[in-house]
Amino acid sequence: MVRWAVLADAVAVFHFAYVAFVGGGCVAILLGVVRGWAWVRGLTFRIVHLVAIGFVFIESLAGIDCPLTVLEGNLREKAGQVHYPGAFIGYWAHRLTFYDVPPWAFTILYGTVTLAIVAGLWWAPPRIDRTGQ
């Protein structure tokens, strides 16, 4: 049972990292353009960033539960965890990732962030360097 709880915590940490990548990526792009950080204009980074939020937005529009949320829930169930106790890191990753608001609010948020990222591609277009990155 402990291994299922550890795996559930790992999924929670990964989920938090995914959310942090999307949100932090937006902030990094804005700061990076202003401060002249070349890496924020990298084509690979910008495409991966757009795909990350685009996937979440499409899931939300389709009414599909997040696979990471479902996986974590299944693992917690196998661990015998009805309520979210988990380990310290898993607990806080979960608390910082999930909020109790209506699903439509998240759909609006995801759509707004997706549009902002697409606008960022126009406002601060990615650059392709000599290696094709």
Domain locations in the chain as residue ranges: 2-123
Compare 127 and 45 and report the one with higher pLDDT: 45
pLDDT over 90 at 54, yes or no: yes
**Average pLDDT, stretch 83-89?**
53
Query: What digits encode the pLDDT tens for the residues 11-40?
Result: 988 988 998 999 999 999 999 999 999 999
Task: Tell me the mean pLDDT in the region 63-91.
Answer: 77
Say how many CA atoms lie within 13 Å of 27 toward its Cβ: 6
The tokens describing 5, both together, are 């709880």
Contacts of 75 (CB under 8 A, 6+ apart): 4, 5, 7, 8, 11
According to the model, what pLDDT value does residue 75 have?
92
Rounded mean pLDDT, 93-120: 81
pLDDT tens-digit profile of 57-70?
A: 999 899 888 899 88
Say if CB 93 and CB 16 are below 8 A apart. yes
CA–CA gap between residue 4 and residue 74 (Å, rounded): 9
The Cα 105–Cα 75 span in angstroms is 27
For residue 48, give both structure tokens. 């991966």
Q: Who has greater pLDDT, 115 or 94? A: 115
SS3 assignment, position 127: strand
CA distance 56 to 69: 12
* pTM score: 0.75
